[in-house]
Structure 1
Amino acid sequence: MAGFSETGPAAPVALRELLVELGDLKRVRSAGRAGSIAERLFAQGWAALTGGVAPETVAFDITAKALAAARLCDLDAAFLAAAGLDEAQAADILVAGLDAVSGPVEAGLRDRLRACLREPAALSSGPVPAFVGALAQQPRAGVTCPGKPRILLEPPENHAEHCLVVAVYGVLLSPFYRADPTTVFLAAMAHHFHNAAMPDAGFTGEMLLGDHLWPIVGRCSEWALDELEPPLRETVGAARLVLPDDATAEGRAFHAADSIDRVLQIAQHLRAATLTMDTVLGEMELVHAGPVKAFQDRVLTDMRIP
């Protein structure tokens, strides 16, 4: 994967399809598990951080799990163990899930993520900060522009889902920008701290707040930071220093991840709205090969479906 330069491409297009697929972790849910996969990985990541796990370990562990889940969804280590598989068998499946999507990922990073699934770190779990649940309950604003009514697309994502996906994108994009992936991951996980307390009125609301905007954002962000004990509080605060601009490699990786996720979120709604039966029945083989496919095809034909 070629790296970033001032005169070359600003982002690695080879990762595009993978990032689209990972964005769907905001929308995958399973019986008996509260929230989407993205929402749960966000909480898991923060619990590990407050439990004293090294941020670098958390960043790669959560990213590896996200890549495996892109195809396996909630067929995760916990389910596979409950279903009777041993650790080696479960690891084989999880690595196969990662390998199915990780071809465009920088080779060294891909090997490290694969190792996270082969030999998972023992993640001690600390208290889940209150801001985690608040961000999971806080919907994103939708499409807003000053002077115009907002465009709402249902169901909305929440801020926990957005932060998690941006964090995973940031790790995957880091080699291209030659950025420290752990810093990018932490910055992304914490970049909407203010929205734990501050309802999201989007760009429109921010502009209407005028000179009050940044003092309010700062105050609300401090409330979330204050939930973290030292030295984690200082580590997260230091990572957040890359958020204001693209002057650093980490800032570029974060802002690339953030903008990609914001736009792909809207693209997902548009993609669903333009889906055709040719794609569903042809490309995606909704009625797929098997012992009864011929009969099923006749049924659909005689029922004039679609």
Structure 2
Amino acid sequence: MKDTAQGITAVPGRLAGLRPLVGELMDLKRVRTPDQPEGLAAHGFRRAWAALVSGVHPDTLALREAALALTGIRLGGIDLDVLSRAGMPHERAVKVLRRGLDAAAEPLDRELRERLHTALAGLPVPGQIQPPAFVERLVRQPRAGPTRANTPRVVLLPAESHADHCYVVAVASVLVSPLFGADPAIPFVAALSHHFFNVVLPDAGDYGDRLLGEDAAPLMARVTEDVLATLPEGLAALVREARKILPHTDSPEARAFHAADAMDRVLEMDAHARAAGFTLRQAMVDLDLIHEGPMQAYENAVLAAAGLIH
């Protein structure tokens, strides 16, 4: 098939097959625990940057974080740290995480599934390495959502943060990389860093950025360089190299990144639309809210007596 759309024409069916799984990554932005009140995506963003500054190689980290994100889809906040604090031995905890991974990873490329499975074997014992200071700025910096000239802003709550967006795009980049023949580490690092300018600049949306006019590009570049200067020299060089894919789509890695970025932005809106349209029937029938168990018959009788089911 002729490549008429920067490499996407060869993979539309396979990309559509990953859409539900990428959509489920959105949930990590809103799944919260007492340990992670900003959500599991923000937690993953912190964890990824802490690992990078501690010297973990991006090839290792990209696969590890994708594996952990997929376990989070199925296990929520039950992660290695929680299982360790609950007294579960490390090896058994990793087996639990693998079950979570296997439950989520069926739509993925088989070779990628195997690499993700292996990545969980190398999980370190939870430690206390701190991420760079700029990370918390992105955790607290909300995204504007879609904006357009002469149109009121649509405020969607709870608002995702730039940490949420960057982490989900990073993980999604890994998941779609086999479709483009891409090295997953490059789009992963590019995604983690692609909103560095929002460490300082609040998000005014696309239209707000346009109002900055000719000042926008140099302002964003200056803030980005300031953030890069806070990283260890070797890591800063690596991040700069990965970010070279951001302005184009003429390499497999750039295509993987921009595919993940576009899907995240639209699926985020889809998540709000689905939440707004959620019905009781979906809870009762599609999601089996009163699930099978010893109390099911009694609970259904109570609901029938209360007029909540028929």
Instruction: Identify the TM-score tier after normalising by the shorter chain.
Output: over 0.9
Shift of 1:192: 0.3
Q: Paired residue for 1:104?
A: 107
Map of 2:287 onto structure 1: 284
Structure 1, unaligned runs of 5 or more: none
* Contact persistence 2:90–2:125 (CA under 8 A): no
> SS in structure 1 opposite 2:194?
coil
Partner of 1:13: 16
Secondary structure class of the residue paired with 2:163: helix
Q: Contact 2:81/2:126 (CA < 8 Å) preserved in 1?
A: no
1:205 to 200, 204, 208: 208
Which SS does the other structure have where 1:247 is aligned?
coil
User: C-alpha offsets along residues 143-167 of structure 1, whole Å, 9 cap, x if unaligned?
Assistant: 2112322111111000001000000
Equivalent of 1:59 in 53, 62, 65 = 62
Residues in 1 aligned to 2:127 and 2:296: alpha-carbon distance in whole angstroms: 48
SS in structure 2 of the partner of residue 149 of structure 1: coil
Is the 1:61–1:121 contact (alpha carbons within 8 Å) kept by the matching residues of 2?
no
> Is the CA contact 1:139–1:156 (under 8 Å) kept in the aligned structure 2?
yes
Q: How many residues align?
A: 304
Aligned residue among 158, 176, 179 for 1:176:
179
Please tell me whether residue 262 in structure 1 is matched to residue 265 in structure 2. yes
SS of corresponding position for 2:244: helix
Q: Which residue of 2 aligns with 1:32?
A: 35
What is the 5 A alignment of 1:82-101? 82-101=85-104
Aligned counterparts, 1:209-248, within 5 A: 209-248=212-251
Find the aligned partners of 2:91 and 2:184 in 1 and give their Cα distance. 28
1:106–1:175 Cα contact (<8 Å) kept? yes
* Shift of residue 121, structure 1, vs aligned partner: 4.5
> Structure 2 stretches of 5 or more lacking a match?
none
Q: 1:293 to 1:164 in 2, by over 3 A?
A: same
Q: Is the 8 A contact 1:163 1:190 kept in 2?
A: yes
Shift in CA distance, 195/266, structure 1 to aligned 2, threshold 3 Å: same
Identity %: 41
Partner letter of residue 207 of structure 1? R
1:45 corresponds to: 48
Do the aligned partners of 1:51 and 1:125 also contact (CA within 8 Å) in 2?
A: no
2:72: which partner in 1?
69
1:296 to 262, 275, 299: 299
Aligned-residue offset at 1:80 = 1.4
Q: Does 1:141 align with 2:144?
A: yes
Match of residue 186 from structure 1: 189
The answer to whether the 8 Å contact 1:166/1:258 transfers is yes
Letter of the structure 2 residue corresponding to residue 295 of structure 1: Y
**1:93 Cα deviation from its structure 2 partner:** 1.2
**2:7 and 2:255 in contact (8 A); partners too:** no
The answer to which of 116-125 and 78-87 deviates more is 116-125
- Separation (CA, whole Å) in 1 of partners of 2:127 and 2:247: 32
Q: Give deviations 1:22-81, integer Å, cap 9, x for gaps.
A: 111000111133421110110111111111111111111111110111110111111112
Q: Which amino acid aligns with 1:8?
A: A
Residues in 2 aligned to 1:24 and 1:53: alpha-carbon distance in whole angstroms: 26
SS of residue paired to 2:232: coil
User: Where does residue 166 of structure 1 map in the other structure?
Assistant: 169
Letter of the aligned partner of 1:276 in structure 2? T
How many Å separate the matches in 2 of 1:276 and 1:102?
28
Is the 1:47–1:125 Cα contact (8 Å) retained in structure 2? no
Q: CA deviation at 1:6?
A: 5.7
Q: Is the 8 A contact 1:167 1:189 kept in 2?
A: yes
Q: Does 1:275 align with 2:255?
A: no
For residues 154 and 9 of structure 2, what CA distance do their matches in structure 1 show?
Answer: 35
Shift, 1:90, TM fit: 1.3
How far apart, CA to CA, are the structure 2 residues paired with 1:283 and 1:198? 42
Shift of 1:117: 1.6
